[in-house]
Amino acid sequence: MSSGCPPSACSGCAVPGRSPASLQRLGLGLENWDHVVALAGNPNTGKSTVFNNLTGLRQHTGNWPGKTIARAEGGFSYRDRRYKLVDLPGTYSLLSSSLDEEVARDFILFGKPDVTVVVVDATALERNLNLALQVLQITDRTIVCLNLMDEARAHGLRIDTRGLARDLGVPVIPTAARQREGMEELLGEIERVATGQLAARPRRLTYDVPGLRDAIRRLAAEVEAAVPGVANAPWIALRLLHGDESVRRALARGELGLVSEDAAVGGVGAAA
Amino acid sequence: MTSSRHERVLAEDALKHVFQCEYDRLTASADSVAGALRLSRDAARLLVDRLVTGGWLAWGGGALYLTVLGREHAVQVLRAHRVVETYLALETGLGSSEWHQRAEVDEHNLTPARVDALAQRLGDPRYDPHGDPIPTASGELPPAQGSVLLDWPEGVEARIVHVEDEPALVYAAIAQAGLVPGMRLVVDGTVVEGLKVRCEGRAFVLPRTLAGNVSVARLEQAPMAEAPTRRLADLKPGEVAEVRGLSPAIRGRERNRLLDLGFVPGSPVELGFTSPLASPSAYRVRGSLIALRTEQAEQVFIGQRVEGVDLKEGT
Amino acid sequence: MKTGTPSPGLGPVSDAEADRPNPGDRVILGSSPRIEAVLGLAEELRWRVPPEFHDRCVEEIYGESARIAARNVVRSGVSSRQTWQRRMDAFLTGRWTGFPAMIAVLAVALWITIVGANVPSAAMAGVLVDTLHPALKSGLGQLGMPWWLNGLLVDGLYLTTAWVVSVMLPPMLIFFPMFTLLEDFGYLPRVAFNLDRLFQRAGAHGKQALTMSMGWGCNAAGVTACRIIDSPRERLIAILTNNFALCNGRWPTQILIATVFVGSLVAPALAGVAAAVAVLGVALLGVVLSLGVSWALSRTLLRGEASAFSLELPPYRPPRFWRTLYTSLIDRTLFVLWRAVLFAAPAGVAIWCVANITVTGRPLAFWAIAGLEPLGWVMGLSGVILLAYVIAIPANEIVVPSILMLTVLVTGMTELGQGAGVMFEAGDNVLKKLLVAGGWTPMTAVCLMLFSLCHNPCSTTLYTIYKETGSWRWTVWSALIPMAIGFVLCAGTAAVWRWIAG
């Protein structure tokens, strides 16, 4: 039963793994980074294992939801670029139903990470894509890390990674973080997105709800006019309709304008 | 100090009463003030006179009206009341029977700035837990709607728009019956004890005294989802059904949390197993096992049994 | 709109009204007219969108996820692991098996700890205390170190530390990995699932069962874990009652006293079992107290009803044995041991001082013990135990070593140790002889076990409570509640015991 193990157990990794040659783990050495990478994902998807693999840190998490509350930070360097990696609390959603979700959401929205890696559990795709889609509404610079592929294979699941990437409109990297499979590919993709070599066209939801579509369209147009180049106007409109205080405040303070940098590099306008 | 505070509370309650009368298109008078505030007729008359002299109220055609000044103040107090009730419902563990009493006190103590801060923290709610609209910070309030359930025609689907929170005993009984603003219901007929009501997968007889304190209105638009036939708590082990929606009684964060976990219309759900103490129960939904207490499962609406679906949880 | 709205009350304007600003004011920070237009439009549109639009949006996202998943995933065959998981749940949360399984798991874990820790404990004490201590003492003496400095460093500092290490390390090495294995396996959420009804009745949050389990490892960690509880009221209840979960600092005390007194009441073959049952009893009493205090709090200081509860039961994952062992050794055992040593060393010095500094011809400790004796008697304890408790306030783990050293001093059984105020190694039998000579009865043992369950949290936990609640008031309550209960419990037990015993 070696395939089943909690993410925590892989921390530190006593077994020297096949680590990518050009990866240098910096642990807590976080000075002078070139890019910020956020790690988001549902609880129990092996997020911390990915984090530990890249930074060389040992973050323990038990097999129960909500154990990681604060966010952990670590550093790594890959092909002469230094990255700060931020491990966000594991959440099901970004709709602010609890404190940890607010922490995760606010970081993706206001922390302005250069890349957001969404770690998803390949064995429970339906539930995990729910979060991934929400992240795609906020930021273009997203990579989906399809983790626990070993588990999925053990369950007789075959996943069409290319089809998934096509449907989501962002890169999808299959990994098995416990076995350190796919880390090199993940790092390469992080580099491509961080340096703007890759322009994604993430799937945007239309919210086909009577009485809502028009409201979003009208409000999103106003948002785009007020904050030129904003990448996620429909999403901001939706949050305003929902009465989201932190989004309202950020808009009033002009903080959301900075999201537009993403649009400038990613070259993707908002799908209205 | 104390007596002036007492006078202010009385004055604000009087303004609120006149506002409510205008909102419901009833006539306010010194006598109705006396009734609402439980004052003697003379005391009420004195109070009204003072408010008229102060420019808060005015007489017109034998009825009391609010001046612009008076209306502004009444709306502020009403807003404070409803925001406080919403806050108590969303963020504290206090039972529904306590919301109104506490709001009656706090509405006189909070400054508008603090009410606004509270409302912003709650995400500027539009309706209070009784289904009443909360006036906006600038004092806007949509017009009243709905009619008393007692007068509602049989067989016509309706939505509960308001549950009167006074008297407290009747309100508690309505809450006990599980009726909350936002729910859909149909009156199937009348019996001696009251109205035969079908409401979101439950059928029961609602006593007349209770039905008199519930307001309903026509559905504004076609129903979003098929009407539920049962509640999640009715599910048998191993049985699969489709979620039809969440009760309006589930509010705020709790509602968001359940939605995020996958209890959304259209999700197939299966009862996995139940705790040795009979509650909570673990349900398989969207690839995970989620434990809910019986009280919550009672607030999740579901449809009929779905055959031939095998729900797998993540492994 | 005007400023300074007048009051409709005719008396002087009250404080509450003095600062009523323009109600139309909204805190919009330096925003442009365009932004204000956006916010204004949002405010207007909010009244027109359907009331349950948020539900519909989540439904949309889930629907989209399901469609994308269905398009790209092919499932073949039945997973055997799934069958296995369902059987596991049927047993661990079963109507008749759930609770027995829970108690059995805890009992077996305790029994293995008690039986397994004996041998390495004795071996370590043999090396650290029997061999190294005399060698150090005589070695330093020959180097010409003055007697008081030699005593302070070797008899006080070194010996206390050695004692703590040999008493605490073996049980921790066994108990913590077992706990971590259970945690990684996914059992803790099932415990919360089984116990939820009880917590609900007590007006507490279902996840309090989780934070309580974490408290069994360490109360400070348990208090921090209370962040997973959303409702502020229930989080406070969980924080205030976490101390009733026996922490790693107190397991060794419980295990030691139970082994020495309870274990010796029965046949040697059953001693381990009897001791385990006694410790289990105290741990379960802790759960009962935790529920009782939560119940009382939600009816007095923290009034309110239990809020809604949803808990994900994660799939069982067979833990990786060696990896878990390694992690728990690094993260828990060494961390806790280091902390104990940090506190034990200065306490050793303190104990040596109170035993060797004399006031009017008698050691300080003598006066302190005499002063605490009446209170100790009422609680079924003794002045020695209370003094040890006072000295050990920074860390629970060194209560027993302190008691032993002080007992030596009082009974004058110095041949067991190496002089007044000196820690020593003692086999269980010698230990018992010593304690009996110090006036101990089984009642003393039982009362000490109860007192160790119910007294104020250690300094680290208190500091954590202060950090988490941000309030001195709640920090003080968290210390007072268990102390009061401990006093009542001990005094009551002692009174009943003495009455029955005649």
**Confidence class of residue C15 from pLDDT cuts 50, 70 and 90?**
very low
Same domain assignment for residues C163 and C65? no
Indicate yes or no: CB of A211 within 8 angstroms of CB of B256.
Answer: no
Indicate yes or no: CB of C69 within 8 angstroms of CB of A129.
Answer: yes
Percent of chain C predicted with pLDDT > 90? 20
With contact defined as 3+ CB pairs under 8 Å, the chains touching A are: B, C
Q: What is the pLDDT of residue C104?
A: 92
Which of B120, B257, B315 is the closest to C79 by Cβ? B315
Name the minimum distance, in Å, from the CA of C296 to any CA of chain A. Answer: 27
Residue C53: inside a domain, yes or no?
Answer: yes
Is the CB of residue A177 less than 8 Å from the CB of residue A53?
yes
Lowest-pLDDT range of B100-109, B272-281, C97-106, C170-179:
C170-179
Q: What is the pLDDT of residue C180?
A: 78
Q: What is the pLDDT of residue C409?
A: 63
Mean pLDDT score, A43-65:
74
Q: What is the pLDDT of residue C487?
A: 94
**Confidence class of residue C480 from pLDDT cuts 50, 70 and 90?**
very high
Same domain assignment for residues C57 and C107? no
Choose the most confident range, by mean pLDDT, from A99-113, B42-56, C475-489: C475-489
Q: What is the pLDDT of residue B164?
A: 83
Q: What is the pLDDT of residue B292?
A: 93
Residue of B nearest to C94 (CA): B276
pLDDT at C158 over 80: yes
Same domain assignment for residues C236 and C174? yes
Mean pLDDT score, B206-233:
81
Lowest-pLDDT range of A1-15, C123-137, C254-268:
A1-15
pLDDT at B21 over 80: yes
Residue C42: inside a domain, yes or no?
Answer: yes
What does pLDDT average to over chain B? 85
Pick among A1, A10, A63 to test the C interface (most C CBs inside 10 A):
A63
Distance (Å, whole) CA B262 – CA A130:
9
A200 vs C463 pLDDT, higher one = C463
Indicate yes or no: CB of A156 within 8 angstroms of CB of C75.
Answer: yes
C223 vs A18 pLDDT, higher one = C223
Same domain assignment for residues C206 and C241? yes
Q: In three state form, how does the secondary structure of C324-357 look?
A: HHHHHHHHHHHHHHHHHHHHHHHHHHHHHHHHHC
Q: What is the pLDDT of residue C9?
A: 42
Indicate yes or no: CB of A124 within 8 angstroms of CB of B287.
Answer: yes
Cα C29–chain centre separation: 46
pLDDT tens figures, C227-286: 878 778 889 999 999 999 988 778 777 887 887 788 777 777 787 788 888 999 999 999
Residue C187: inside a domain, yes or no?
Answer: yes
Residue C22: inside a domain, yes or no?
Answer: no
Mean pLDDT score, A28-56:
84
> How many A×C Cβ pairs under 8 Å?
209
The angle that helices C399-411 and C334-356 make with each other, rounded to 10 degrees, is 20
Residues whose CB is less than 8 angstroms from the CB of residue A247 and which lie 6 or more positions away in sequence, other chains included: A109, A236, A239, A240, A256
CATH topology of domain A7-194: Rossmann fold (3.40.50)
Indicate yes or no: CB of C62 within 8 angstroms of CB of A241.
Answer: no
Backbone angles phi, psi at B203, to 5 degrees: -120, 130
**Confidence class of residue B2 from pLDDT cuts 50, 70 and 90?**
low
Choose the most confident range, by mean pLDDT, from B129-133, C39-43, C421-425: C39-43
Residues whose CB is less than 8 angstroms from the CB of residue A178 and which lie 6 or more positions away in sequence, other chains included: A5, A7, A10, A46, A49, A150
Which of A95, A130, A151 is the closest to B256 by Cβ? A95
Distance (Å, whole) CA C112 – CA C127:
24
Percent of chain C predicted with pLDDT > 70? 86
**Confidence class of residue C392 from pLDDT cuts 50, 70 and 90?**
confident
Residues in chain C, total: 502
pLDDT tens figures, B179-188: 888 888 889 9
Q: What is the pLDDT of residue B312?
A: 58
pLDDT at C85 over 90: no
Question: Does residue A210 have a cis peptide bond before it, meaning omega lies within 30 degrees of 0?
Answer: no
Name the minimum distance, in Å, from the CA of C174 to any CA of chain B. Answer: 29
Indicate yes or no: CB of C184 within 8 angstroms of CB of A6.
Answer: yes
Pick among A92, A131, A149, A207 to test the B interface (most B CBs inside 10 A):
A92
CA-closest candidate to residue A74, choices A43, A45, A36: A36
Mean pLDDT score, A206-234:
84
Residue C297: inside a domain, yes or no?
Answer: yes
DSSP string of A138-167, one letter each residue: H-S-EEEEEE-HHHHHHTTEEE-HHHHHHH
Residues in chain B, total: 315
Q: What is the pLDDT of residue A56?
A: 79
Same domain assignment for residues C42 and C120? no
Which of B93, B258, B314 is the closest to C234 by Cβ? B93
Predicted ipTM of the assembly: 0.82
pLDDT tens figures, B248-285: 888 877 888 899 888 998 899 999 999 999 889 999 99
Mean pLDDT score, C463-477:
91
- Token representation of residue C350: 């303190």
What does pLDDT average to over chain C? 79
Residues whose CB is less than 8 angstroms from the CB of residue A119 and which lie 6 or more positions away in sequence, other chains included: A39, A40, A41, A45, A46, A47, A50, A145, A147
**Confidence class of residue B131 from pLDDT cuts 50, 70 and 90?**
confident
**Confidence class of residue A80 from pLDDT cuts 50, 70 and 90?**
confident
CB atoms within 10 A of CB B230: 18
In terms of C-beta distances under 8 Å and separation of at least 24 residues, what long-range contacts does B99-108 make, across chains too? B99/B129, B99/B165, B100/B165, B100/B166, B100/B168, B100/B171, B101/B168, B106/B80, B106/B81, B107/B12, B107/B77, B107/B78, B107/B80, B107/B81, B108/B5, B108/B8, B108/B9, B108/B12, B108/B77, B108/B80, B108/C16
Residue C16: inside a domain, yes or no?
Answer: no
Cα C485–chain centre separation: 16
Mean pLDDT score, A206-214:
82
Mean pLDDT score, B219-236:
77
DSSP bridge partners of B218: B158
Domain ranges (residues) in chain A: 7-194, 213-266
Same domain assignment for residues C287 and C144? yes
Same domain assignment for residues C206 and C291? yes
Name the minimum distance, in Å, from the CA of A144 to any CA of chain C. Answer: 14
Alpha-carbon distance values, C36 to A229, A249, A252, C42 (Å): 18, 11, 8, 10
Which of B:38-97 have CB within 8 Å of C?
A: 50-51, 54, 56, 69-70, 72-73, 76, 91-95
Q: What is the pLDDT of residue C29?
A: 45
Residue C323: inside a domain, yes or no?
Answer: yes
Q: In three state form, how does the secondary structure of C44-108 look?
A: HHHCCCCCCHHHHHHHHHHHHHHHHHHHHEEECCCCHHHHHHHHHHHHHCCCCCHHHHHHHHHHH
Indicate yes or no: CB of A156 within 8 angstroms of CB of C184.
Answer: no
- Where helices occur in A37-119 by DSSP H, the ranges are 47-55, 99-110
Q: What is the pLDDT of residue A9?
A: 35
Distance (Å, whole) CA B146 – CA B160:
8
In chain C, the number of structural domains is 2
pLDDT at B93 over 70: no
CA-closest candidate to residue A10, choices A41, A52, A73: A52
Which of C46, C89, C310 is the closest to B290 by Cβ? C310
**Confidence class of residue A256 from pLDDT cuts 50, 70 and 90?**
low
Q: What is the pLDDT of residue C6?
A: 44
Distance (Å, whole) CA C22 – CA C29:
16
Mean pLDDT score, A131-141:
91
Mean pLDDT score, C415-432:
49
Same domain assignment for residues C113 and C199? yes
CA-closest candidate to residue A201, choices A263, A254, A118: A263
Q: What is the pLDDT of residue C164?
A: 74
> Is the four-CA dihedral B300, B303, B304, B305 of positive or negative sign?
negative
Query: Domains of chain B (ranges plus CATH)?
Result: 2-66 (1.10.10.10), 147-218 (2.30.30.90), 230-305 (2.30.30.90)
Domain extent at residue C128? 98-501
Name the minimum distance, in Å, from the CA of A232 to any CA of chain C. Answer: 15
- Token representation of residue A105: 């959401």
Indicate yes or no: CB of A64 within 8 angstroms of CB of C28.
Answer: no
C307 vs C225 pLDDT, higher one = C225
Question: Does residue B167 have a cis peptide bond before it, meaning omega lies within 30 degrees of 0?
Answer: yes
- The answer, for B4 touching chain A at a CB cutoff of 8 Å, is no
pLDDT at A29 over 70: no
Distance (Å, whole) CA A46 – CA B175:
44
Strands B194-199 and B184-191: antiparallel
Name the minimum distance, in Å, from the CA of B180 to any CA of chain C. Answer: 14
CB atoms within 10 A of CB C19: 11
Residue C23: inside a domain, yes or no?
Answer: no
What does pLDDT average to over chain A? 78
Summarize chain B as % helix, strand, coil (round to 5): 40, 25, 35
Same domain assignment for residues C57 and C156? no
Which of A5, A62, A157 is the closest to C75 by Cβ? A157
CB atoms within 10 A of CB C35: 22
